[in-house]
Chain A
Amino acid sequence: MASVKPKIDINQDYDKLYGFHVPEKAFFKAEPGLDEDQVKQISAMKQEPKWMLDLRLRGYRHFVNKPMPQWANTELLNSIHFDDIYYYLKPTEKQGSSWEDVPVEIKETFDRLGIPEAERKFLAGVSAQYESESVYHSMHEDLQRQGVIFLDMDTGLKERPDIIQRYFGSIIPPADNKFAALNTAVWSGGSFIYVPKGVRVEMPLQAYFRINAKNMGQFERTLIIADEGAEVTYFEGCTAPSYSSDSLHCAVVELIALNHAKIRYVTIQNWSKNVYNLVTKRAVAHEGATVQWLDGNLGSRLTMKYPGVYLMGPGAHGEVLSVAFAGDGQHQDAGAKMVHAASDTSSVITSKSISKGTGRTSYRGLVKVYPGAVNAKSTVRCDALLLNPESRSDTYPTMEIDEKRVQIGHEATVSKIGDEQLFYAMSRGLTDQEAMNMIVNGFIEPFVKELPLEYAVELNRLVQLEMEGAVG
Chain B
Amino acid sequence: MTIQSAIQPSLLEVENLHVAVDGKEILKGLTLSLGCGEVHAIMGPNGSGKSTLSLCLMGHPKYTITQGRILYKGQDIQQLAVNERAAAGIFLAFQYPTAIPGVTIVNFLRSALRGVRGTDVPIKEFRQTVKTHLKTLGIADSFMNRYVNDGFSGGEKKRLEILQMAVLAPALAVLDETDSGLDIDALKTVAAGINAQRSSQRGILLITHYQRLLNYVIPDRVHVMVDGCVVRSAGPELAHELEAKGYEGLRPHTQTLCV
- What is the interface of chain A, defined by CB distance below 8 A to chain B? 1, 3-6, 418-421, 423-432, 434-435, 438-439, 441-446
Nearest Cβ in chain B — how far from A417, in angstroms? 11
A423→B112 CA distance, assembly (Å) = 13
From B80, B103, B113, B118, A441 is in contact (CB under 8 Å) with: B103
B115 touching A431 by the CB < 8 A rule? Answer: yes
Q: Which of A5, A434, A444 contacts B87 (CB 8 A)?
A: A5
A429 to B119, CA, bound (A): 11
Can you add 12 more A-B contacts, CB < 8 Å, to A3-B87, A426-B81, A438-B100? Answer: A3-B88, A421-B98, A423-B82, A423-B98, A425-B100, A428-B111, A429-B86, A429-B168, A430-B83, A434-B115, A438-B103, A442-B100
CA–CA, A429 and B110, complex, Å? 11
> Among the interface residues A5, A425, A438, which one has the most CB atoms of the partner chain B within 10 A?
A425
B222 within 8 A of A: no
- The answer on a CB contact under 8 Å between A426 and B103 is no
A343→B130 CA distance, assembly (Å):
50
A429 and B116 contact, Cβ closer than 8 Å, known pairs A1-B88, A3-B88? yes
B147 at the binding interface (Cβ < 8 Å): yes
A–B Cβ pairs within 8 angstroms, 12 of them: A1-B73, A4-B118, A6-B119, A419-B61, A424-B98, A425-B100, A427-B82, A428-B164, A429-B86, A429-B111, A431-B83, A439-B103
Interface of A, secondary structure class, is helix
- B75 adjacent to chain A (CB < 8 Å): yes
User: Chain A's nearest CB lies how many Å from the CB of B183?
Assistant: 25
Query: A418 → chain B, closest Cβ, in Å?
Result: 7
Q: How large is the interface on B (under 10, 10 to 19, 20 to 34, 35 or more residues)?
A: 35 or more
Q: When chains A and B are docked, how far (Å) is the Cα of A348 from the Cα of B148?
A: 26
| Chain B 40-86 interface residues, beta-carbon cutoff 8 Å to A | 58-62, 73, 75, 80-86
Chain B min CB distance to A33 (Å):
47
Chain B residues whose CB sits within 8 angstroms of the CB of A424 once the complex forms: 94, 97-98, 100
A419 to B107, CA, bound (A): 20
Q: In the complex, how many angstroms separate the beta carbon of A74 from the nearest chain B beta carbon?
A: 35
Bitwise, B91-104 to A at CB < 8 A (1) or not (0) is: 11010011111110
Q: Which residues in A have their C-beta under 8 angstroms from that of B84?
A: 3, 5
Q: Which residues of A contact B112 (CB under 8 A)?
A: 428-430
Instruction: Tell me the complex Cα distance, A419–B62, Å.
Output: 10
B114 within 8 A of A: yes
A124 to nearest B CB, angstroms? 30
Q: Min CB distance, B152 to chain A, in Å?
A: 13
Complex Cα distance A5/B88, Å? 11
